[in-house]
Chains A and B, each alone.
Chain A
């Protein structure tokens, strides 16, 4: 039954998550230097002995490892990711502040990329070898080959600096005090350039997957059979071909979903967009290890959750994956 299959797979996921939590716990303790240096960074050199001991005790670092692990797990379960000495704030607060922006940017990108990639990919495949197909193929190869920071900089230079149509950086106007509809428009205007850059660099993978998948489906006997049966061309394309060609795209979609928090690092940095990606970049620059550790954990867990969702969704789309 479905339950047993999923049960077995879920057990694998639980084991995987345990391993990841242990690794994430061991990471700072396996690094050279004391865990204190990991927590407080370069400030450690400025601390007195008493201060050091106080911080160590405060974080339970003077207790045996099993105690430390229990404390770490307890904190995580309560949603406590630790404390950033750099920003002098709890990491959970920092993450919660950043999450919505990345979800907005990367989420919109995921939706747009999938829709555009699927439709344009299908059209290219239906017109295989024609002018439209050749043109689209060249365009998407060009887009795929473009470095993401470069396209971001070009867009900023042209549409923000030269034409002044869109803001140069950020996710909203900081001191404008906008509310209601005006605030939504403001956020939208800030979203246009980073979103465009992101779609620009990520739409090709969906396009190529869809085009290839559609081409191989169109060669299948059941397509020829559908035509023989008297199915009109439009239904052959949408009912018989599209449905099958979408299956590999679902895989790409789920992969992209897993990388929703880490896929926009470069673009968020170029546009100073206050999301998880930029947080990660800043944490690397300032050696804010606790923030890095928390962000990595978040990204890893997202990948695993996306995999679990994919496992649950696949049987709905492909009957062959269902267990009799």
Chain B
């Protein structure tokens, strides 16, 4: 089975007045066909930059510094101009964090969805508009509201509109960047429900970007954990919950309360996320890591295959102490 999306050695950086900041460093992963891959990390770790880079839509002062984003045998990052415009949205689309800001306030939502269809197909405006209404209906929005403007929708309804817009050209890959952040839990559940239905209907492969471990844990098949611009662990969602390998993942889990468990003691990760301009030379998590040894400061640990967990699927971790620590993590 081929991957829906293959990301190889992706790096992205921002030029700032105080120098170049590499927000995404040598990130590689694959998105399997039909799966939901969660991408999780703290604010500023490079999640959103990855999302934009996957669409080759990083705006200045941001810049892709290297790598490949393979959609089948096309490298999206090598495309530009018309070829890029044609491929993007047709095969890979995005649901943005805040549809409030991602929808143009002066145009009707139906027209905004139809615009994408018209640009990618030979459909007339009427046909595109009819399709837009169908899409709205599919994601649970009254098709009659195609004539409404973005400000007339509630937060949850707006996210559904954004989903309909992302699906307008029936893409293979959908990137959801904090697509449910800021919604109340009920609305979040509804929006995720709509996404799941669409995943089945369109055979979508989805990348869910979020900082919300609970939500990601519920919806993802596999989870990639990011820290300071690098991936530190990639594993099946269930393995991440029951058997986290990387010390950062362990810290992340013990810092988040479980809804179902007994009242428990939460352990915050000591220290702060490093400044991307002044990174430690070796492992970026080493200064905050309870298991760090001197060697951790020497080289950047590569993301390599490790012993599979209970799920039996292959898993990757970027920690030189991985072998020593198996079975020793704080429970």
Contact = CB atoms under 8 A, between A and B. Distances in A.
Nearest to A226: B104
Contact of A231 (B86, B98, B119): B119
Contact of A222 (B57, B102, B119, B120): B102
Interface size class of A (residues with CB under 8 A): 20 to 34
Contact of B55 (A228, A232, A318): A228
Interface string A229-246: 111100000001001100
Given A319-B149, A320-B149, A324-B152, A230 B101 contact: no
Contacts of B57: 224, 227-228
Contacts of B259: none
B85 interface: yes
Contacts of A226: 104
B85 A230 contact: yes
B160 interface: no
A228 B106 contact: no
Nearest to A222: B104
Given A224-B57, A324-B152, A243 B96 contact: no
Contacts of A320: 105, 149, 151
B47 interface: no
Contacts of A182: none
B98 A230 contact: no
B101 A222 contact: yes
Contacts of B165: 229
Nearest to A240: B104
B103 interface: yes
A221 B102 contact: yes
Contacts of A224: 52, 57, 59, 102
A222 B52 CA distance: 13
Interface in B65-88: 85-86, 88
B89 interface: yes
A221 B119 contact: no
A317 B149 CA distance: 13
A221 B98 contact: yes
B134 interface: no
Nearest to A243: B106
A318 B106 contact: yes
A50 interface: no
B94 interface: yes
Interface in A272-324: 317-320, 324
Contacts of A225: 94, 96, 102-103
A243 B149 CA distance: 15
Interface in B89-135: 89-90, 93-94, 96, 98, 101-106, 115-116, 119-120
13 contacts: A221-B101, A221-B102, A222-B103, A222-B104, A224-B102, A228-B94, A229-B119, A230-B86, A230-B88, A230-B119, A231-B119, A232-B85, A243-B104
Instruction: Rank and list the top 6 A-B pairs by shortest CB-CB distance, nearest first.
Output: A221-B101, A319-B149, A230-B85, A221-B102, A222-B104, A229-B116
Given A224-B59, A226-B104, 16 more contacts: A220-B101, A221-B96, A221-B98, A224-B52, A227-B57, A228-B88, A228-B94, A229-B115, A229-B116, A229-B165, A230-B89, A230-B90, A231-B85, A231-B119, A244-B104, A319-B149
